[in-house]
Amino acid sequence: MKDPIIVGIESSCDDTSVAVLQGNKILSNVINSQKIHQKYGGVVPELASRAHLRNIIPVFTVALQEANISLKNVNAIAFTQGPGLMGSLLVGSSFAKSLSQALSIPLIGVNHMQAHIFANFYDEKNSPDFPFLCLTVSGGHTQIVKIESIDSLEVIGETKDDAAGEAFDKIGKMLGLPYPAGPWIDQHSKTGNKNRFDFTKPKMEAYNFSFSGLKTAVKYFLEKKCDENPNFIQENLNDLCASIQKIIVETLLENFLKASKNLNIKNLVLAGGVSANSLLRNKFLSLEKENYSIHIPPIELTTDNAAMIAIVGRLKYENALFSDLSVTANPRLKL
């Protein structure tokens, strides 16, 4: 059988993305990251859906051009069904449904969190073996997931308040960094002293996380220090970033490794936007020396993108796991 050509569509939050996948090969993965939210310090849902509406056709056109694929050769349309922002999801899902109907090809609804995890299957010859544990860290989610097959995923721990990416973004905002602040904190940390400021590691029950206490602790700490010296943040920005990054990364890994040990699963996978973080990636990779089998997506597949949607689309296509036209966008879709 010829390798199927799958078009992936992602529009769950503030990135409009369309990808074309042929078999295992990503032919294109076009991402339009909406800049409009930066001045508001976070995503404004109404502006996001309007921007998706403007972007979707141009992004789709470029993705097909880059892939050098004609529409008549596409075998299936995969799209993000949820979780995400309702207005944003509706743009992608309506577009995907129209394409599927017009071209008379299968439609495949994809869970965005599953797609982050299965981005690690971008290389068929080097995919994680089942069962594996995934630490999914994004702007909206922080989860430890046990995966036994393409359609057997169990969340065994998650954040009870802020997600890890949200912690980076909200604390970064207090430091005066642009949105999203995660990459900026990462960048400033490179020349900072991670042991300069000692924040208490958040307490966790079972395999769950909690980051809102850290956010509040940093807030009060900064208020006190800025009262004493109004230039405190500017003068100590790199050390502050490094100290905060260290505590978030250590908290994530400590809990994840506890789950790995207790469940006796040594196949470990990282996923989601925060998996672009250099400290997290380095610490994770160093686990290879301790006999863990490690998988990390390439940087371009860590943050929101449509290639990861198309990858799940391909796996579902091979297993004939199709959706019908009654499938609806679901902002709270669970794994």
Q: How far is the CB of 73 from ligand KG4 (least distance, A)?
A: 30
> What is the rounded CA–CA span in Å between residue 192 and residue 290?
28
Token code pair at residue 89? 């999801």
> What is the rounded CA–CA span in Å between residue 279 and residue 219?
23
274 binds ligand KG4 per the rule CB under 6 A: yes
> What is the rounded CA–CA span in Å between residue 93 and residue 99?
10
13 binds ligand KG4 per the rule CB under 6 A: yes
- Helix or strand run (H / E) with residue 21: strand 15-22
10 binds ligand KG4 per the rule CB under 6 A: no
DSSP state of 296: -
16 binds ligand KG4 per the rule CB under 6 A: no
Q: How far is the CB of 242 from ligand KG4 (least distance, A)?
A: 12
Among the listed ranges 149-157, 260-268, 285-293, 303-311, the one in contact with Zn ion (CB under 5 A) is 303-311
**Residue 43 partner contact from Zn ion, ligand KG4, none using kind-dependent CB cut-offs of 5 to 8 Å:** none
139 binds ligand KG4 per the rule CB under 6 A: yes
User: For residues 140 and 202, which CB has a smaller minimum distance to ligand KG4 in the complex?
Assistant: 140
Is the Cα dihedral 316, 318, 320, 326 positive or negative? Answer: positive
Q: How far is the CB of 59 from Zn ion (least distance, A)?
A: 17
Bind-site residues = 112, 116, 136-140, 169, 182, 186, 277, 304
Among 169, 170, 312, 317, indicate the residue that binds ligand KG4 (CB under 6 A): 169
* 88 phi and psi angles, rounded to 5 deg: -65, -45
CA dihedral 90, 92, 94, 100 (to 10 degrees): -150
User: For residues 230 and 298, which CB has a smaller minimum distance to ligand KG4 in the complex?
Assistant: 298
Question: Residue 222's CB: how many other CB atoms inside 10 A?
Answer: 17
Q: Shortest CA distance to 292 belongs to which of 335, 252, 253?
A: 253
Residues 6+ apart with CB under 8 A from 311: 8, 21, 115, 118, 119, 121, 122
Among 88, 111, 138, 255, indicate the residue that binds Zn ion (CB under 5 A): 138
**Residue 168 partner contact from Zn ion, ligand KG4, none using kind-dependent CB cut-offs of 5 to 8 Å:** ligand KG4
303 binds ligand KG4 per the rule CB under 6 A: yes
Q: Are 94 and 57 in contact (CB under 8 A)?
A: no
Q: How far is the CB of 48 from ligand KG4 (least distance, A)?
A: 12
Among 4, 157, 273, 297, indicate the residue that binds ligand KG4 (CB under 6 A): 273
> What is the rounded CA–CA span in Å between residue 274 and residue 141?
10
User: For residues 7 and 276, which CB has a smaller minimum distance to ligand KG4 in the complex?
Assistant: 276
Question: Residue 300's CB: how many other CB atoms inside 10 A?
Answer: 14
323 binds Zn ion per the rule CB under 5 A: no
Among the listed ranges 70-78, 99-107, 135-143, 190-198, the one in contact with ligand KG4 (CB under 6 A) is 135-143
Residue 11 to residues 56, 91, 108, 176, 264: CA-CA distances in angstroms? 9, 7, 15, 28, 36
Residues that bind ligand KG4 (CB under 6 A): 13, 138-140, 165, 168-169, 180-183, 186, 272-274, 276-277, 303-304
Residues that bind Zn ion (CB under 5 A): 138, 304
